[in-house]
Structure 1
């Protein structure tokens, strides 16, 4: 999918701000609001995020996240004039019920008129009005596809990943996979991981495929990978 230019995104953001400037009711139009919000960046909300994800809170109480993009963004939406500090607290209450890989990098709370974006990696917090959205679109580079991950050459995570690939190579070789077939398999697997991480695929598409389609014990993993590569 081609990225929209910042100029195109800003034009869409202006139109979005005008369209929603008089909305007030959380339940009546919140879903349409967020579908339109993602469309500003040329992204179909359905491809990346879901509404009303069921999550157990710390005390065991069942909760429902207003909008959830696994591993990236959690949105808590309120009617106009509601306390957004409480909305942020409510958003954090969902964290105990999420898997480690699902924990978002950002929390966004809004009441249609006001937005607060929390960057959970660096502790940053940005507040702006709906009318100021066009001037703040760069905050959402992670939606538009422009935000780059900072990967250090000696990042322990990358070293660990390389070690895991080496272990996989040795295990497959032990059970009889050698030569060209083994190398092609590993290259294909590495490409899928790279494409997941850099935006060649839709964000986390490969990871989600593995998590959602295969068994946790891994006994059918080979079958699904073979089908994917075919």
Structure 2
């Protein structure tokens, strides 16, 4: 297997840190919005994902469904919208750092041992 990025049903939600304490209502809103994305995709059975997600021809209903999903997910993290994509990424990286703090111990550099003098 190559070392390229790999995405699958079993790991896609592990690619970013999930919010710390989403409410049941927030989780259900994300599930409903995710299902809506799938339902809108199903309206285009003859289109491939490449067709559906072409930025020039993406169906407006799919764009809207994704915007609603993004909004539902964002509200799980904080009550106000992120002002930019960069701020969202910054927030997610900070949360990842918080989640992983202490998981990886730093190795202490090994001191080079002095070789014993060899008698001739």
Does TM, scored on the shorter chain, surpass 0.5?
no
Q: TM-score, normalised by structure 1?
A: 0.17
Higher Rg of the two aligned structures: 2
Q: TM-score, normalised by structure 2?
A: 0.28
User: Relative contact order: is structure 1 or structure 2 higher (C-alpha 8 Å, sep ≥ 6)?
Assistant: 2
Whichever structure has more strand as a proportion of its residues is: 1
